[in-house]
A and B are shown apart, each in its own frame.
Chain A
Amino acid sequence: MATTFPSTEWFNAICELVNNDPAFRQLGTVDSVIGVKVGDKIFELTFEAFECTGVREVAESDLRDMDFWLEQPYDKWQEMLNNIKVHGAADLTHTLNTIDLSMPEGLARSHDGYRRDAFYRFNQSIQDFFNASAKIETKFAEESALTA
């Protein structure tokens, strides 16, 4: 059954996949609170030690408490996830770092120049998290559903 992106259900499904994947654990510890902003919808992902320990939908004001958040236009989210689905993982042109450098404002954003560096410190775990979406059926929400 397809799971709708973006939604807490979708992120929880990915959490469950990576938490049960020895390869994700092998990448090492991740300690970070990360946001994913799609349209007006914002999701907070908490990583602790070797697991994704929490997913919740939050408000714009909560972004300040996160290390960083990932933000790009909705069609770019769809392109990234479709690319991952097709290749089983992001290809050379759709990795998080590559997308980050392709956007004037960056994909990873933060109110804090130091905490944003968590994007680099845990980059491969976060990439692995999104790559895991290749293993589920994703249904994309209507764009109109992403406005507050």
Chain B
Amino acid sequence: MANETIAIPDDLAAKAQEKDWPLDLVQQALAAGAPAEQIMSYMDMGVTADQAREFMAQGAAGPQLDLSWMDTPTEWGTRAKPTKHGLTLEAINIGRYGEIPDVWEHMTEMPRGAVPIPGVEAMGYSIFQKQEVWSDLCAPMYEEAIQRRWRPATDVPWDSIEPLPDDLERAIGQVCTYLSEKAQMEADIIGRWEPEISYGYHEVKLYLATVVFEDARAVEVFRKRALSNGGGLGLQSPGWAFRSVVDSRNFTEMVALQFVLQDSLTLAEYQFGEKYAKNAAEKYIFAHAIEDKARHVAYGISHLKYVLLHRADRRMEIERYLDKGEGMLLVDDKKDTAARPAWAIYFAGGKENIAEGLRIYDHMRRQFVTQYLARLRWATLERKDTINPGLRAYVEGGGE
């Protein structure tokens, strides 16, 4: 159709005159199918006549696209099948995509199984060896963590909390302060390690992301408990044990101190928190926190076992990290004047029975040390005779 046969609406003609667009250009745009309102909006946006001519010329020639990427020699024809658990990370680890190298050689954010291109800037990863981070549990535990998530705001039966005596409310407030602080510290520490791990081990990166999320949930839920019943937060922790984790210089050191040592203690604390819960809300909180923390411990201990299976020469090094961490944990015990009596009052149900509470506290510590040693034994680390004497004393004591 010839351009001159297309009528230009009066308002468009007026706008074209105002914006200095020749009428033949307006007719050309209308002929190409552009609605009058759209042409006027381009004019209002400041598109010049020359820019409009250039744009329409490109459209007439058709886009010049490079489709050579379609010939990329990745493994093609992959059809992962959902399992009983759904389409999991393990289910898609097939063919080349499931080959997890002992050493990852790429400095960039290239996904495992993709094809590298030259000239991409490095991401700054520092961990390129599988033994530094791996556990066979990462992929299944990522899925487990995603499936077993819970929502503090609405799942916890907050209405079940009734007013408690002041000493008991202060005790739970102090316990919650301590647990919330510990969880935030772990989230911060692990968040810092995420960008160090190269993309070849994405299962580890994904699993650690769930740990950070679960720590955030612990920060949230213990803070909410502290602020939900007429009480509040208590004293901050001295942080000596945190320090040993913060100062870790390699990933396995951090795992040994945080996921194995510290988290074994936290898991025991959650167990006893569940047992001595004063209401259904606290029962729910501790019971679900137990599940999250047990996954953290499982990752930690299975990573240590993996390291020792593949780098037997690191045994003494790991023992040394544990020596250091156990020592710092005991310093915390001496410096932290609030946590122990707060737990004891919580267990005993009030200040008047604090002696009974302290006995239960010792039982909690014994549970921690017993389980910590049993887990290390599974990872081929026998520390019954080498554990810090201050911790050994708990297992050499009596029962509850």
Contacts and interface: CB of A to CB of B under 8 A. Distances in A.
A22 interface: no
Nearest to B140: A31
B271 A97 contact: yes
Interface in A31-69: 31, 48-51
A28 B375 contact: no
B69 to A, nearest CB: 37
B287 A123 contact: yes
A97 B298 contact: no
Contacts of A148: none
B280 A29 contact: no
A29 B298 contact: no
B148 A27 contact: yes
A101 B367 contact: yes
Given A95-B287, A101-B367, A120-B294, A49 B399 contact: no
A121 interface: yes
B267 interface: yes
Contacts of A49: 83-85
Interface in A1-49: 27-29, 31, 48-49
Interface stretch (A77-85, A110-118, A129-137, A139-147): A110-118
A122 interface: yes
Contacts of B371: 113
Interface in B8-64: none
A131 to B, nearest CB: 12
B275 A114 contact: no
B68 interface: no
Interface of B: 83-85, 140, 143-144, 147-149, 267, 271-272, 274-275, 277, 279-280, 283, 287-288, 290-291, 293-295, 297-298, 301-302, 363, 367, 371, 373-375, 377-379, 399-400
A92 interface: yes
B274 A95 contact: yes
Nearest to B267: A120
Contacts of A127: 287
Given A29-B85, A124-B288, A127-B287, A112 B378 contact: yes
Contacts of A104: 399-400
Contact of B298 (A98, A112, A121, A123): A121
Contact of B290 (A27, A92, A97, A115): A97
A122 B275 contact: no
B274 A98 contact: yes
A113 B378 contact: yes
Contacts of B275: 95, 97-98, 101-102
B375 A113 contact: yes
Contacts of B297: 117
A124 B291 contact: yes
B356 to A, nearest CB: 15
Interface string A89-112: 000100101101110100000001
Given A114-B301, A123-B290, A28 B148 contact: yes
B271 A101 contact: yes
Nearest to A102: B275
9 contacts: A28-B147, A29-B147, A48-B84, A95-B274, A97-B275, A101-B367, A113-B371, A114-B374, A121-B291
B365 to A, nearest CB: 13
Nearest to B295: A121
Nearest to A93: B275
A87 B149 CA distance: 26
Contacts of A95: 274-275, 283, 287
A49 B144 CA distance: 9
A102 B363 CA distance: 11
Nearest to A29: B147
B360 to A, nearest CB: 9
A112 B275 CA distance: 23
Nearest to B143: A29
Contacts of A28: 144, 147-149
Nearest to A101: B275
Nearest to B373: A113
A33 B373 CA distance: 23
Given A97-B271, A123-B291, A124-B291, 16 more contacts: A28-B147, A49-B83, A49-B85, A92-B277, A97-B290, A98-B274, A98-B275, A100-B271, A112-B378, A113-B378, A117-B375, A120-B267, A121-B295, A123-B290, A124-B288, A127-B287
A48 to B, nearest CB: 6
Contacts of B294: 117, 120-121, 123
Contact of B378 (A50, A114, A121): A114
A57 to B, nearest CB: 25
A12 B272 CA distance: 32
Nearest to A27: B148
Given A95-B274, A122-B291, A124-B288, A113 B374 contact: yes
